[in-house]
Chain A
């Protein structure tokens, strides 16, 4: 490793240009016990040292800008630089969230138009931009489902149906809203098990949380039947929009029967993942859930943009953020959609799907095993290497780590949990054919290596700043700060 910033620190050093001028003789009218007693020991470095330290650290990361990053379910597509540069203008950044609405019209217009665009794409008339990540969107959606049932005096519906393939956030969010989880198993072809679903539906069913295409990378072809059954039973359908890149501009959520959904702007709408956030998870809802949307949201009255607050929406589930959510991320998604326009948005799913199926076909032909060989890929697909595991003792983890040596970020591994030794691969639409072909070559080499030199995989990576790291030691000794 490189030294930590604390090891580079020297007492008394400082980035002088950054320190404001203060009065050396200032007397502070505060009781002594209110002051910090011990000196604050943050790193002490020159500005150059700081710049160099964090520039060097950055080079120890894989990123979309430096590497192909086929991380399934995460949609690591190109994050346009122009969008970022525009969102970082001073006139945009200097706007205080509590500025009077008269001076916030430009910002509010962008948010309002983004609401409309998301509404158009999903076919859902109500939108709240407030949730700050997919998981918070889920929380908002599930809380709205609960509020809807309760508003009808329907207090017995305490069960949320969740497929066993769902993202971990789905059950976690539902539990946070006080629901009991009923897990629904999956069929061999990747679709939901309809018999099990039928048996699970009851007068206690509040709703179901689905991802489509599912986390198994295939389209849930029974979706219309599922939505009919759930609706007949009085439940609502929650749509986890994590995989919306497969359908954006092609299928509207409302037409699949969904009542409420979240969109991951950091996936489908190309806002930066930032090394783990900020995300952004706006929710869109059907007509009957509009009264429950988180507040505030933007409306337009006679050409002026205004906030619709809790006062005007007494049934709202409430506020989810200190201000309006991750506004700067919302702005980036809006700019991205302005660049793409209608045609551009409709092309996303086409090329994301072409790239995924091309990879799936070439890798299957080369000898990798598809988890669902009879199905088309959506924007992503799953390989299982369970047979290699049996024959050569090589795991999905080993393949993933070896790919890093070849200069590719690893696919998502061991998710979904129900496919053994799996790799979930999502190329996105912004990757060119040469890059895909290079990735295929690397995978084919690894396939050979697992027979001829399996230790190369088991001990991978070999070329990165560190070798495999001891996670058990980290948890046992738990050193989490210097």
Chain B
């Protein structure tokens, strides 16, 4: 009701044109026994004012100092990002199939593709996928299609990859009888290269290389990429995009780079929003582009020779190829890519590098603030980016509860994912944390641990 514009007069005139007396007559082809029952469990409608008040009261909460990362990161989002991305012309446009009426979206995606290829140092980026985990699943399917080995249905996935990503991989690739073989990590939290080499059999199509990995650990990605090349398998990087402004990007790993690079785009101007909507990025070497799933925008010319942009290589996609498409993917995450493009443009290369540097400095400042607290010690002694792991001598969940009551979300308990990490905390620090924030966390931990031990 709230958004239906018909006046009684409109309705009467329209029915008259149709030669019927009631709207119900327009449904006479639907068998009457299909009529829905009353739908008693739906609520009554509200006005916008009523809904606003209800939502504000429901979500009224004290603000939390958040040190949780694990795949979703708190960053400062410039006001201009969502002020502009929230314009109706971006929000309420459809997929740019009508190119002439969608040059805004198309040019934006082209610019996004350009920015991502520069950030990752890769040749080609698609227009985005649903999120980081599904981007990785699509990367794996792509690698299996690209593999020159017959019967290669195995992809090597290290156990220091985000556990949710490993679950999504199993769900999606498992349907096509692709097996993800686990690779162990060593006591530094890095990929166990010995285990990796042992597991490269003729059935292996590709290996996944996270950077930084789920534990925040920075791995020797050059060595891992070299192993993949030497053994004739494809390499798939899963990277944090902010970290790539500072760390070696996947297109330069072991000089000539990986075959496919993907990851979660959320850090680039997308709010946490309880897990979504985010976007996944996916990029590859130019020679692999025909197996790249998802939308892709290319530069071209119009009838008068003016430059313009269109969706291209659509013959890979489901609306043309149907059952033979590279993927069933139809949508990308256009609005999130709009926000990310504005974010990247505001920061520029220097600004983004500074964000990465601030994350790195803050996370290390936090590390130094915590390292002398008795009752906890660093778990993996390795270089790290955002995240760090801490082993507690006391039971961790009650400690996290007490911190929560003090308004601090200190991270996640890794024991919930794997019993071998009982009482290991994964804690994340980004550029949003101040010296005072870090001191508040350290003091609280100190007090709690002193009481307990």
Interface centre among B272, B275, B301 (most CB of A within 10 A): B275
Among B91, B130, B302, contact of A272 (Cβ-Cβ < 8 Å):
B91
* Contact A324–B34 (Cβ < 8 Å): no
Closest to B117 in A: A481
A475 to B297, CA, bound (A): 10
Given the known interface contacts A78-B3, A321-B276, the answer about A176 and B360 at a Cβ–Cβ threshold of 8 Å is: no
Say if the beta carbon of B17 comes within 8 Å of chain A: yes
* Contact A467–B303 (Cβ < 8 Å): yes
Residues of chain B within 8 A of A329, CB atoms compared:
276-277
Interface positions, chain A 76-92, Cβ under 8 Å from B, are: 76-80, 82, 84, 86, 88-89, 91-92
Q: How far is the CB of B28 from chain A (nearest CB, A)?
A: 7
A117 to B125, CA, bound (A): 38
* Contact A45–B348 (Cβ < 8 Å): yes
A361 to B13, CA, bound (A): 13
Interface centre among B46, B59, B86 (most CB of A within 10 A): B59
* Contact B4–A430 (Cβ < 8 Å): yes
Given the known interface contacts A34-B218, A319-B164, A474-B310, the answer about A480 and B80 at a Cβ–Cβ threshold of 8 Å is: no
* Contact A40–B51 (Cβ < 8 Å): no
Residues of chain A within 8 A of B6, CB atoms compared:
351, 354, 432-433
Q: How far is the CB of B284 from chain A (nearest CB, A)?
A: 11
Q: How far is the CB of B422 from chain A (nearest CB, A)?
A: 17
Residues of chain A within 8 A of B144, CB atoms compared:
none
Given the known interface contacts A91-B61, A94-B66, A404-B101, the answer about A50 and B346 at a Cβ–Cβ threshold of 8 Å is: yes
A35 to B133, CA, bound (A): 25
Say if the beta carbon of B1 comes within 8 Å of chain A: yes
Residues of chain A within 8 A of B420, CB atoms compared:
none
Say if the beta carbon of A305 comes within 8 Å of chain B: no
A327 to B42, CA, bound (A): 21
Say if the beta carbon of A456 comes within 8 Å of chain B: no
Q: How far is the CB of A109 from chain B (nearest CB, A)?
A: 7
* Contact A468–B100 (Cβ < 8 Å): yes
Among A34, A76, A410, A481, contact of B101 (Cβ-Cβ < 8 Å):
A410
Interface 9-mer from A198-206, A216-224, A230-238, A442-450 = A216-224
Closest to A177 in B: B175
Residues of chain B within 8 A of A57, CB atoms compared:
103-104, 107-108
Interface positions, chain A 44-100, Cβ under 8 Å from B, are: 44-45, 47, 50-51, 53-55, 57-67, 69, 71, 74, 76-80, 82, 84, 86, 88-89, 91-100
Q: How far is the CB of A226 from chain B (nearest CB, A)?
A: 12
Residues of chain A within 8 A of B10, CB atoms compared:
432-433
Q: How far is the CB of B446 from chain A (nearest CB, A)?
A: 22
Residues of chain B within 8 A of A337, CB atoms compared:
42
Interface positions, chain B 343-366, Cβ under 8 Å from A, are: 344-355, 357-358, 360-361, 364
Say if the beta carbon of A261 comes within 8 Å of chain B: no
A324 to B71, CA, bound (A): 13
* Contact B134–A464 (Cβ < 8 Å): no
Residues of chain A within 8 A of B342, CB atoms compared:
50, 54
Interface 9-mer from A151-159, A282-290, A338-346, A382-390 = A338-346
Interface positions, chain A 165-209, Cβ under 8 Å from B, are: 167-169, 171-178, 181
Say if the beta carbon of B291 comes within 8 Å of chain A: no
* Contact B95–A84 (Cβ < 8 Å): no
Residues of chain B within 8 A of A478, CB atoms compared:
289, 298, 312-313
Residues of chain A within 8 A of B334, CB atoms compared:
273-278
Closest to B60 in A: A91
Closest to A341 in B: B45
Given the known interface contacts A57-B108, A251-B36, A337-B42, the answer about A474 and B354 at a Cβ–Cβ threshold of 8 Å is: no
* Contact A338–B383 (Cβ < 8 Å): no
Residues of chain A within 8 A of B350, CB atoms compared:
14, 19, 40, 44
Number of B residues, CB within 8 Å of A: 193
Among B18, B42, B104, B322, contact of A117 (Cβ-Cβ < 8 Å):
B42
Residues of chain B within 8 A of A80, CB atoms compared:
2-3, 48
Say if the beta carbon of A301 comes within 8 Å of chain B: no
Residues of chain B within 8 A of A274, CB atoms compared:
90-91, 93, 333-336, 338
* Contact B275–A327 (Cβ < 8 Å): yes
Say if the beta carbon of A479 comes within 8 Å of chain B: yes
* Contact A54–B341 (Cβ < 8 Å): yes
* Contact B14–A327 (Cβ < 8 Å): no
Closest to A176 in B: B328
A34 to B177, CA, bound (A): 36
A279 to B303, CA, bound (A): 34
Say if the beta carbon of A143 comes within 8 Å of chain B: yes
* Contact B108–A338 (Cβ < 8 Å): no
Interface positions, chain B 212-255, Cβ under 8 Å from A, are: 218, 222, 244-249, 252
Closest to A411 in B: B98
A246 to B323, CA, bound (A): 27
Contact string, A440-482, partner B, CB cutoff 8 A, digits 1/0?
Answer: 0000000000000000000101001111111101110111111
* Contact A66–B100 (Cβ < 8 Å): no
A146 to B91, CA, bound (A): 36
* Contact B357–A22 (Cβ < 8 Å): yes
Q: How far is the CB of B125 from chain A (nearest CB, A)?
A: 7
Among B14, B36, B300, B404, contact of A354 (Cβ-Cβ < 8 Å):
B14
Among B34, B94, B124, B358, contact of A21 (Cβ-Cβ < 8 Å):
B358
Given the known interface contacts A42-B349, A481-B125, the answer about A94 and B4 at a Cβ–Cβ threshold of 8 Å is: no
Known: A464-B101, A467-B304. 12 other contacts (CB 8 A): A20-B355, A37-B248, A55-B84, A61-B101, A80-B3, A99-B66, A136-B130, A276-B295, A318-B174, A338-B45, A361-B18, A480-B297
Q: What 6 A-B pairs have minimum CB-CB distances, sorted nearest first?
A: A341-B45, A323-B275, A65-B88, A274-B335, A97-B275, A318-B171
12 contacts between A and B (CB under 8 A): A18-B76, A38-B252, A44-B350, A168-B330, A273-B92, A275-B94, A275-B105, A322-B275, A328-B274, A429-B3, A469-B310, A481-B125
